[in-house]
Structure 1
Amino acid sequence: MSGSDETKSALEAVTPAPSAPVAVKAIKTGQADDVDIAAQILADYAETMGSEGWTKEEEKKLMRKVDWRLIPILFVCATLSGLDKTAISAAAIYNIKGDLGLSGSQYSWVGSAPFFGGLVFMGPAAYCLQRMPVVTFFSLNVLCWGVLEMCMAACTSFAGLFVCRFLLGGFEALLIPAVTLVVSMWYRPEEQPKRNSIILNVIAPIINGFLAWVVGYHKGTFATWKVIFLLCGAFTTVWAAVVYFFLPSNPYEAKSFSAREKYIIIQRKASDNTGVETKKIKKEQIIEAFTDPKTWLIWVAIVALQVPNGGLTTFNTLIISGLGFKPLQTSLLAMPPGAMSTFSGLALSYLAATTRRYRTALVAGSILLPLLGALLCYNLPRTNLAGQLVGLYILYTYWAPYVTLVSVYQANIAGHTKKIVLYAWFYVAWATGNIIGPQTFRANQAPAYTGGTVAMIICYAIAIVAILGYGALCHAHNRRRAAAVESNTAADQDWLDITDLKNEGFKYTT
């Protein structure tokens, strides 16, 4: 190909999708609540833009701008949320259990406390997420969980610590639904896995281990574990202001984007038929969400994948120190699991982004790796320190199937009320798994925690079955809808805020 041909190809215009005339008409006749907010952008700018397209280079430049506005802010939010939860494991090696008189299973209940809070707060949080500006409500939650993190340094008993952790989890409950919603607003399904894997990272154990190692050199009367909570909480409260002032709520309200940029963002998402946002609550979408069998298969899979997360987040430092390592050594050895989770999540998500047809098979297959880690920990003798550490580190690849599974249901749920409800419901699954996890690690089984290892093995097997079943149902839907998809029926229903089951032209990611 000649140089001039390459230049021509790079600048080739992209033809915009149809402007969903039915949705635009609804806006102009005063029925804006019934359709997606994207229709407002089309109604405002379609006539100005006309049939004018845009170049591939312009689109790439625009999406880089979107990435820089969204990804760093959400990345730090997710990291802080993970750090707030894992900080308890760093505090554990600096005698928080002794200072607060935590006995028996009390430490396990402290580990589960944030997820009980999440279960209680998730309903009201989901309602507010639907009715209020996403970023305003989200930033308020970030501020609250930062304040509660600092309050943990003032705790003197099990009851005080449990309450703080309970409320911390309540305000953090919004994180995963909000991130999932924001990513689905701005990106196509094939673009979502990579962004999810970066945002929903697991570098918190790395930072937690490093922080625990640094504060380990603190010599003074002020308890070391209190320093950890104060540092984490202080930074989180500052970050709440960054979220409020710099994170855009949705493409329509994004002040730093021009009318043309908003139009391109909306039009390029038209093909996935999942919508952007609407403030009207639709009861029929709620009913559909809970009567769809696919909902329950995903729910079971998330619970099964989060049982190991709940246990390992709370007990990883105790597992490592139980192998005979000192506090400073434990802090350093607790860092590689975070790297394993993060890098495995990135690798699988980038691989999953190459296909929408075999994504569930990839997710199910990837669970075999943490399953191998659990089997190594269960079968190898405790005296085999290298083998036990390798098994533990391999276990942490469990995050890869979870974060990639998020991109599957992101791509497969349409209808704004249905999305809000299910993103919240899948958080309930996430919280349930994390509540169960610490309870499988019994104090009387320390330091081997055999019950926790057996629970992980069982849960991985359940997750594989549930995810493959979900993929099979999606395949069946696509086969039945092949003719409608081929005829581009979905294009006529863009931005009407209808669900994936009602839209005969909707094609599922499988």
Structure 2
Amino acid sequence: MAADQVTINDEPKGGRVTAEAAVKAIKAGRNKHVDIAAQIISDYADQMDGESWSVEEEKRLIRRIDWRLIPTLFVCATLSGLDKTAISAAAIYNIKTDLHITGAQYSWIGSAPFFGGLVFMGPLAYCLQKVPAVPFFAFNVLCWGILEMCMAACTSFGGLFACRFLLGGCESLLIPAVTLVVSMWYRPEEQPKRNSIILNVVAPIINGFVAWAVGYYNGPFETWKIIFLVVGALTIVTSVVVYFVFQVPYPREKYIVIQRKAADNTGIESKTFKIDQVWEAIFDIKTWLMWIAIAALQVPNGGLTTFNTLIISGLGFDSLQTSLLAMPPGAMSTLSGIGLSYLAATTRRYRTAIVTVSILLPLLGAVLCYALPQTNLAGQLLGLYILYTYWAPYITLVSVYQANVAGHTKKITLYAWFYIAWATGNIIGPQTFRADQAPKYTGGTVAMIVCYIIAMFSITAYGLVCHFSNKKRADAIEGRMAADHDWLDMTDKENAGFKYTT
């Protein structure tokens, strides 16, 4: 056989699940307990038995999947960010004055989407496992657009808070869904790059451009309303695209994807809800260390997303200048996220250490903003822009828990729970920026410094726990014991041969 050929047979090689093993699992009545991949392999065992595919065919398949999944998820994530950050653009075009919103009320409006996320996340995560995923997700995107356009009709704090609360509830599905999709379709070493592209921070760039463009409008219609209408219309159009683009590949393609994923032992999907996996997730120390790290890294996100334009305008810039100066932070976040993710993809042994060290950069930015006087415009802007590299450690951290969680119910549970950490941090963030401390917002800056330090300790502890778990499992890992349990929908703790990314 040629070196670039992969052949299916009944002898497990490199963690590959065999057709015979899958068929036996299904015939034994375990179809409700095994991963859906075992069912697919069983269904197509006769068709695929003895067939092979080349390395080049596999690469072409992954490229095709990339071109279907990544751009669409990228647009969805961008619009989700844009829907939430549009409020900061509206803030420099008198929405606070027109709707008689006080400083404290504006902070609550900043937190509103994340309160909605906390309320809606549980039911949506459950639905994600039980109902057809594609139409359900497309419907959620449609709701984003409708709610965004409804904000243009708001006349009070209450109406705007309600719209943003419901918007956050519908958008809460995005991050768990993206995290799940990437973990299902890609190997651990492939996940960081895809995460960094999909979960981007391009929204502030687009938000700044839209705010700058509408700033030239001089008609009778309020400028801030135009921002909400434009963003909402774009989101509604995207929901239609999502519905038609997310199509399941052909049986042969599904078979190849399943076989290439076998080695990481994290599974594909199961429609059976397993309460024991939920309890395991709750009582796992790694769950709480990761939760603390995510929440801490999102406190800056919540504050800066809501107040970045007010911070910049507080330095003495007008509305048009503020719109343009609010664009570079998005580029800083996105480029730093891509760069760090590509670095992290080169190793599974030192990934948590890389994330921890990377937090020093946004920490420096926060210290500069705190220490430098407001009159030092260049220094304040530099500190603010460096601050936005906080997204890089967060987005790289996503790839760590993607690689370290097995068992479909446990994955669904933890991805939802980590979204709650994300939402909690984003709720706290705007509350640390007090109106009476404008334009320096000392409380917000100090909160960011403290949270970065907490995140560094939590991530380091998480990496050490994973490292010592691997040492205890060394014999099982070396003996490839995990390969005997492929597609049995076992959790990482249940599978003695599972190797954690550290």
* TM value normalised by structure 2: 0.97
Q: What do residues 35-59 of structure 1 show as CA deviations (whole Å, max 9, x unaligned)?
A: 1111122102233322443222111
Q: Distance in 2 between matches of 1:25 and 1:100?
A: 65
In structure 2, the partner of 1:4 is: none
Please name the residue that 2:451 is paired with: 459
For the pair 1:487 / 2:479, whether they are aligned, the reply is yes
The structural deviation recorded for 1:246 is 1.3
Query: Where do 1:29-48 residues align within 5 Å?
Result: 29-48=28-47
Q: How does 1:179-328 map to 2 (within 5 A)?
A: 179-248=178-247, 254=248, 257-328=249-320
SS at match of 1:276: coil
Letter of the structure 2 residue corresponding to residue 36 of structure 1: D
Alignment of 1:86-485 (within 5 A): 86-248=85-247, 254=248, 257-485=249-477
Letter paired with 2:72: I
Q: Confirm or deny: 8 A CA contact 1:28 1:43 kept in the other structure.
A: no
Answer yes or no: is the 8 Å Cα contact 1:145–1:171 preserved in 2: yes
State whether residues 209 and 324 of structure 2, in contact with CA within 8 Å, keep that contact through their aligned partners in structure 1: yes
The offset of 1:31, in angstroms, is 3.4
Of all paired residues, the percent bearing the same amino acid is 74
Structure 1 segments of 4 or more deviating over 6 A?
none
Amino acid at match of 1:394: I
SS in structure 2 opposite 1:32?
A: coil
Distance 2:195 2:83 in 1: 20
Deviation at 1:89, TM superposition (A): 0.2
AA in 2 matched with 1:312 = L
For structure 1, the 5+ residue unaligned runs are: 1-7, 249-253
Residue 23 of structure 1, CA deviation: 4.2
- Report the alpha carbon displacement of residue 22 of structure 1 after superposing the two structures with TM: 4.5
Q: 2 CA distance for matches of 1:50 and 1:507?
A: 30
Task: Supply the distance in 2 between the matched residues of 1:51 and 1:349 (Cα, whole angstroms).
Answer: 38
Q: Is the 8 A contact 1:23 1:494 kept in 2?
A: no
Amino acid at match of 1:105: A
Task: Count residues with an aligned counterpart.
Answer: 495
> Are the aligned partners of 1:274 and 1:415 in contact in 2 as well (CA < 8 Å)?
yes
Report the residue type matching 2:44 in the other structure. Answer: Y
Tell me, yes or no, if the aligned pair for 2:19 and 2:49 is still in contact at 8 Å.
no
Q: Aligned letter for 1:389?
A: L
| Alpha-carbon distance in 1 for matches of 2:466, 2:217 | 55
1:118–1:428 CA contact under 8 A, matched in 2: yes
- 2:492 matched residue in structure 1: 500
Equivalent in the alignment of 1:3 = none
Q: Is the 8 A contact 2:148 2:228 kept in 1?
A: yes
Report the secondary structure of 2:381's partner residue: helix
Preserved CA contact (<8 Å) 1:270 1:494: yes
SS at match of 1:34: coil
Task: Tell me the alpha carbon deviations over residues 380-403 of structure 1, each in whole angstroms, 9 at most, x when there is no partner.
Answer: 111000000000000000000000
Query: What amino acid is aligned across from residue 177 of structure 1 in structure 2?
Result: P
SS at match of 1:500: coil
Contact 1:134 1:178 in 2 (8 A): no
Q: Is the 8 A contact 1:23 1:496 kept in 2?
A: no
Q: In angstroms, what is the RMSD of aligned CA positions?
A: 1.2
Secondary structure at the aligned position of 2:44 is classed as helix
Question: Does the aligned pair in 1 maintain the 2:195–2:395 contact within 8 Å?
Answer: yes
Distance in 2 separating the partners of 1:497 and 1:27: 13
Deviation, 1:258, is: 2.8
Deviation per CA, 1:286-345, whole angstroms, max 9, x where unpaired?
A: 000000000000000000000000000000000000000000000000000000000000
Q: Which amino acid aligns with 2:274?
A: K
> 1:280 is paired with a residue of what secondary structure?
coil
Q: Which amino acid aligns with 1:137?
A: F
CA distance in 1, matches of 2:359, 2:386: 11
Give the direction of change, closer, same or farther, for the CA distance of 1:14–1:475 in structure 2 (3 Å limit). farther
Q: Deviations over 1:87-118 (max 9, x none)?
A: 00000000000000001300000000000000
AA at the equivalent of 1:190:
E
Deviations 1:336-363 (A, max 9, x none): 0000000000000000000000000000
Normalised TM-score (structure 1): 0.95
Cα distance in 2 between the residues matched to 1:362 and 1:14: 37
